[in-house]
Protein backbone atom coordinates (compact mmCIF):
# COMPACT_ATOMS: atom_id res chain seq x y z
CA UNK A 1 0.00 0.00 0.00
CA UNK A 2 1.26 3.48 -0.87
CA UNK A 3 1.94 5.87 2.01
CA UNK A 4 -0.68 8.58 2.51
CA UNK A 5 1.62 11.52 1.55
CA UNK A 6 2.41 9.82 -1.77
CA UNK A 7 -1.30 9.32 -2.50
CA UNK A 8 -1.99 12.93 -1.56
CA UNK A 9 0.84 14.18 -3.79
CA UNK A 10 -0.46 12.16 -6.73
CA UNK A 11 -4.11 13.21 -6.22
CA UNK A 12 -3.47 16.90 -5.45
CA UNK A 13 -2.83 18.02 -9.07
CA UNK A 14 -5.94 16.18 -10.26
CA UNK A 15 -8.08 17.74 -7.52
CA UNK A 16 -6.69 21.22 -8.22
CA UNK A 17 -7.39 20.81 -11.95
CA UNK A 18 -11.01 19.76 -11.18
CA UNK A 19 -11.44 22.73 -8.82
CA UNK A 20 -10.11 25.09 -11.49
CA UNK A 21 -12.36 23.65 -14.20
CA UNK A 22 -15.41 23.73 -11.90
CA UNK A 23 -14.86 27.37 -10.96
CA UNK A 24 -14.21 28.27 -14.60
CA UNK A 25 -17.55 26.65 -15.56
CA UNK A 26 -19.27 28.69 -12.85
CA UNK A 27 -18.15 31.96 -14.39
CA UNK A 28 -18.26 31.47 -18.16
CA UNK A 29 -20.88 31.01 -20.85
CA UNK A 30 -21.81 27.37 -21.37
CA UNK A 31 -23.88 25.43 -23.83
CA UNK A 32 -27.00 24.02 -22.23
CA UNK A 33 -27.13 20.25 -22.64
CA UNK A 34 -30.34 18.57 -21.54
CA UNK A 35 -28.61 15.26 -20.80
CA UNK A 36 -26.34 17.04 -18.31
CA UNK A 37 -29.24 18.75 -16.55
CA UNK A 38 -31.23 15.50 -16.41
CA UNK A 39 -28.22 13.62 -15.07
CA UNK A 40 -27.98 16.17 -12.26
CA UNK A 41 -31.67 15.67 -11.50
CA UNK A 42 -31.08 11.92 -11.12
CA UNK A 43 -27.60 11.81 -9.58
CA UNK A 44 -28.00 14.27 -6.69
CA UNK A 45 -31.34 12.93 -5.37
CA UNK A 46 -29.90 9.40 -5.47
CA UNK A 47 -26.83 10.55 -3.60
CA UNK A 48 -29.02 12.33 -1.05
CA UNK A 49 -31.01 9.14 -0.51
CA UNK A 50 -27.86 7.06 -0.10
CA UNK A 51 -26.40 9.48 2.42
CA UNK A 52 -29.71 9.69 4.28
CA UNK A 53 -29.91 5.90 4.46
CA UNK A 54 -26.32 5.69 5.69
CA UNK A 55 -26.95 8.30 8.39
CA UNK A 56 -30.26 6.98 9.75
CA UNK A 57 -28.66 6.48 13.16
CA UNK A 58 -27.59 10.13 13.29
CA UNK A 59 -30.75 12.26 13.42
CA UNK A 60 -28.77 15.50 13.83
CA UNK A 61 -26.87 14.72 10.64
CA UNK A 62 -30.16 14.11 8.81
CA UNK A 63 -31.53 17.38 10.16
CA UNK A 64 -28.35 19.13 8.98
CA UNK A 65 -28.76 17.66 5.53
CA UNK A 66 -32.41 18.74 5.41
CA UNK A 67 -31.55 22.28 6.50
CA UNK A 68 -28.74 22.44 3.96
CA UNK A 69 -31.07 21.17 1.26
CA UNK A 70 -33.55 23.96 2.02
CA UNK A 71 -30.80 26.59 1.88
CA UNK A 72 -29.49 25.07 -1.36
CA UNK A 73 -32.94 25.28 -2.98
CA UNK A 74 -33.16 28.96 -2.03
CA UNK A 75 -29.67 29.63 -3.40
CA UNK A 76 -30.53 27.69 -6.55
CA UNK A 77 -33.59 29.88 -7.14
CA UNK A 78 -31.55 33.04 -6.60
CA UNK A 79 -28.79 31.69 -8.87
CA UNK A 80 -31.32 30.80 -11.58
CA UNK A 81 -32.79 34.30 -11.49
CA UNK A 82 -29.31 35.81 -11.84
CA UNK A 83 -28.34 33.56 -14.75
CA UNK A 84 -28.13 35.03 -18.25
CA UNK A 85 -29.89 32.83 -20.83
CA UNK A 86 -29.35 32.98 -24.59
CA UNK A 87 -30.59 31.16 -27.64
CA UNK A 88 -28.64 31.30 -30.89
CA UNK A 89 -30.37 29.36 -33.63
CA UNK A 90 -31.03 25.89 -32.30
CA UNK A 91 -28.41 26.17 -29.55
CA UNK A 92 -29.08 27.21 -25.97
CA UNK A 93 -26.49 28.93 -23.77
CA UNK A 94 -26.38 30.21 -20.23
CA UNK A 95 -23.95 32.14 -18.07
CA UNK A 96 -24.43 31.21 -14.41
CA UNK A 97 -24.71 33.79 -11.65
CA UNK A 98 -21.09 33.41 -10.56
CA UNK A 99 -21.14 34.66 -6.94
CA UNK A 100 -23.71 32.14 -5.72
CA UNK A 101 -22.27 29.21 -7.67
CA UNK A 102 -18.75 29.99 -6.46
CA UNK A 103 -19.94 30.34 -2.86
CA UNK A 104 -21.62 26.94 -2.95
CA UNK A 105 -18.66 25.24 -4.66
CA UNK A 106 -16.05 26.80 -2.37
CA UNK A 107 -18.10 25.98 0.73
CA UNK A 108 -18.23 22.33 -0.31
CA UNK A 109 -14.57 22.21 -1.38
CA UNK A 110 -13.52 23.83 1.88
CA UNK A 111 -15.38 21.24 3.92
CA UNK A 112 -14.03 18.36 1.86
CA UNK A 113 -10.52 19.79 2.23
CA UNK A 114 -10.98 19.94 5.99
CA UNK A 115 -12.27 16.36 6.05
CA UNK A 116 -9.26 15.25 3.97
CA UNK A 117 -6.99 17.02 6.46
CA UNK A 118 -8.70 15.16 9.31
CA UNK A 119 -8.12 11.84 7.53
CA UNK A 120 -4.45 12.69 7.00
CA UNK A 121 -4.06 13.71 10.64
CA UNK A 122 -5.65 10.45 11.77
CA UNK A 123 -3.41 8.45 9.40
CA UNK A 124 -6.45 7.23 7.50
CA UNK A 125 -8.18 5.94 10.62
CA UNK A 126 -11.44 7.88 10.15
CA UNK A 127 -14.21 5.56 9.06
CA UNK A 128 -16.89 6.41 6.50
CA UNK A 129 -19.55 6.46 9.24
CA UNK A 130 -17.87 9.57 10.66
CA UNK A 131 -18.58 11.29 7.36
CA UNK A 132 -22.30 10.48 7.37
CA UNK A 133 -22.71 11.30 11.04
CA UNK A 134 -21.34 14.84 10.75
CA UNK A 135 -24.20 17.37 10.72
CA UNK A 136 -21.97 20.10 9.27
CA UNK A 137 -20.68 17.92 6.44
CA UNK A 138 -24.16 16.73 5.48
CA UNK A 139 -25.55 20.26 5.81
CA UNK A 140 -22.95 21.55 3.35
CA UNK A 141 -23.61 18.62 1.02
CA UNK A 142 -27.34 19.42 1.28
CA UNK A 143 -26.62 23.00 0.20
CA UNK A 144 -24.62 21.74 -2.79
CA UNK A 145 -27.24 19.18 -3.80
CA UNK A 146 -30.17 21.56 -3.34
CA UNK A 147 -28.43 24.24 -5.37
CA UNK A 148 -27.56 21.95 -8.29
CA UNK A 149 -30.96 20.23 -8.34
CA UNK A 150 -32.79 23.55 -8.37
CA UNK A 151 -30.44 25.09 -10.91
CA UNK A 152 -30.73 22.09 -13.27
CA UNK A 153 -34.53 22.14 -12.95
CA UNK A 154 -34.48 25.87 -13.72
CA UNK A 155 -32.35 25.31 -16.82
CA UNK A 156 -34.68 22.59 -18.11
CA UNK A 157 -37.73 24.78 -17.44
CA UNK A 158 -36.11 27.69 -19.31
CA UNK A 159 -35.30 25.44 -22.28
CA UNK A 160 -38.86 24.11 -22.35
CA UNK A 161 -40.35 27.63 -22.23
CA UNK A 162 -37.96 28.87 -24.90
CA UNK A 163 -38.61 25.91 -27.20
CA UNK A 164 -42.38 26.34 -26.79
CA UNK A 165 -42.15 30.07 -27.54
CA UNK A 166 -39.93 29.41 -30.57
CA UNK A 167 -42.34 26.78 -31.88
CA UNK A 168 -45.34 29.04 -31.34
CA UNK A 169 -43.75 32.11 -32.96
CA UNK A 170 -43.87 30.89 -36.61
CA UNK A 171 -47.49 29.70 -36.17
CA UNK A 172 -48.65 33.12 -34.97
CA UNK A 173 -46.68 34.96 -37.66
CA UNK A 174 -48.70 33.32 -40.46
Angle between helices 59-81 and 98-121 (to 10 degrees): 150
- Of 122, 82, 63, which Cα lies nearest the Cα of 130? 122
* pTM score: 0.81
Q: What is the pLDDT of residues 95-120, one digit of tens each?
A: 998 888 888 888 888 887 787 777 77
Q: Which residue has the higher pLDDT, 25 or 66?
A: 66
More confident residue, 113 or 86: 86
- For residue 83, the model assigns a pLDDT of 93
- Note the helical H segments in the chain: 4-27, 34-54, 59-81, 98-121, 128-132, 135-173
Average pLDDT over residues 137-159: 94
By the 8 A CB rule, do 136 and 63 touch?
no
Amino acid sequence: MLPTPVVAAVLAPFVLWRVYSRIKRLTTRQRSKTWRHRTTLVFFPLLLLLLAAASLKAPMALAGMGAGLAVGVILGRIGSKGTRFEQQGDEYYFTPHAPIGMLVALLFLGRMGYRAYQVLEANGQLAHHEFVSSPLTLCIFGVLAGYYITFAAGLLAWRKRTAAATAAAPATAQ
